[in-house]
Amino acid sequence: NAGVTQTPKFRILKIGQSMTLQCTQDMNHNYMYWYRQDPGMGLKLIYYSVGAGITDKGEVPNGYNVSRSTTEDFPLRLELAAPSQTSVYFCASSLHTDTQYFGPGTRLTVL
Amino acid sequence: AQSVAQPEDQVNVAEGNPLTVKCTYSVSGNPYLFWYVQYPNRGLQFLLKYITGDNLVKGSYGFEAEFNKSQTSFHLKKPSALVSDSALYFCAVRALDNYGQNFVFGPGTRLSVLP
């Protein structure tokens, strides 16, 4: 039981490049979330999903897209990277809206 | 609007002394409250939660939290701090907000336990 896994752990992008952050959970959780954590700040919700095929925007969705084709996977897509997207990205999952379990994070730098 | 406040950016305590990390919240309806801990370069780890029942909740690593409805607080406590408790602590509330039934996190409190 690996919990929530995220890849890659680190990435440097140039402005305008695109990439996908991968997130997988093996706990059969229906809810999944993407957060960003900026230095010295708390977590801000980017997108969330309540089940396969259902996604919705969080507090800071601009510049990102998500999909949820399976229960296990919830990738986050950055289409045109901007310096403002430099952050640490965390994926989390939960059974309904109970305790969230977090992945180890992806540290992204956009130059 | 739903919100969580952690009034202290930093808490310093000597090893062996009791510690308290404060959290207050504002939410419609009955709150579901959580504490998470984040060690350097790691994701958040669940410590404890309050949903209903006894106002004193016990969690992992000897931590406990006290729910106070009248003061809308959920302070995290530990009777005897360890150096290894040094980390970033987040309070969170499950709330019905503009984004559906979801979690709102506080800004975090950095705990430093001095040997």
Instruction: Look at B43 and A50 and tell me if their CB atoms are within 8 Å.
Output: no
pLDDT in tens, B63-107: 999 999 999 999 999 999 999 999 999 999 987 655 555 788 899
CA–CA distance from A68 to each of A4, A24, B38 (Å)?
15, 11, 27
Instruction: Look at A41 and B49 and tell me if their CB atoms are within 8 Å.
Output: no
Chain A neighbors of B48, CB-CB under 8 A: none
| Residue where the block lists tokens 């004193």 | B56
Q: Stretch B15-21: mean pLDDT, rounded?
A: 97
Q: What is the pLDDT of residue A3?
A: 92
Any B CB within 8 A of A51 CB? no
Measured over the CA atoms of residue B65, residue B1, residue A101 and residue A84, the dihedral's sign is: negative
Report how many helices (DSSP H) and strands (DSSP E) chain A contains, helices first.
Answer: 0, 11
Position B20 pLDDT exceeds 90 = yes
Peptide linkage before A39 cis (omega within 30 of 0)? no
**How many Cβ pairs within 8 Å bridge chains A and B?**
55
DSSP A73: B
pLDDT: is B86 or B27 the higher one?
A: B86
Mark out the alpha helices in chain A (DSSP H runs).
none
Position B24 pLDDT exceeds 80 = yes
By percentage, how much of chain B surpasses pLDDT 70? Answer: 95
Q: What is the mean pLDDT of chain A?
A: 93
pLDDT: is A77 or A39 the higher one?
A: A77
pLDDT in tens, B43-52: 899 999 998 8
Chain A neighbors of B34, CB-CB under 8 A: 99-100
**Mind telling me how many Å the CA of A79 is from chain B's nearest CA?**
23
Mutation pick from B103, B104, B109, B110 vs chain A, by most beta carbons of A within 10 Å, is B103
Chain B neighbors of A90, CB-CB under 8 A: 43-44
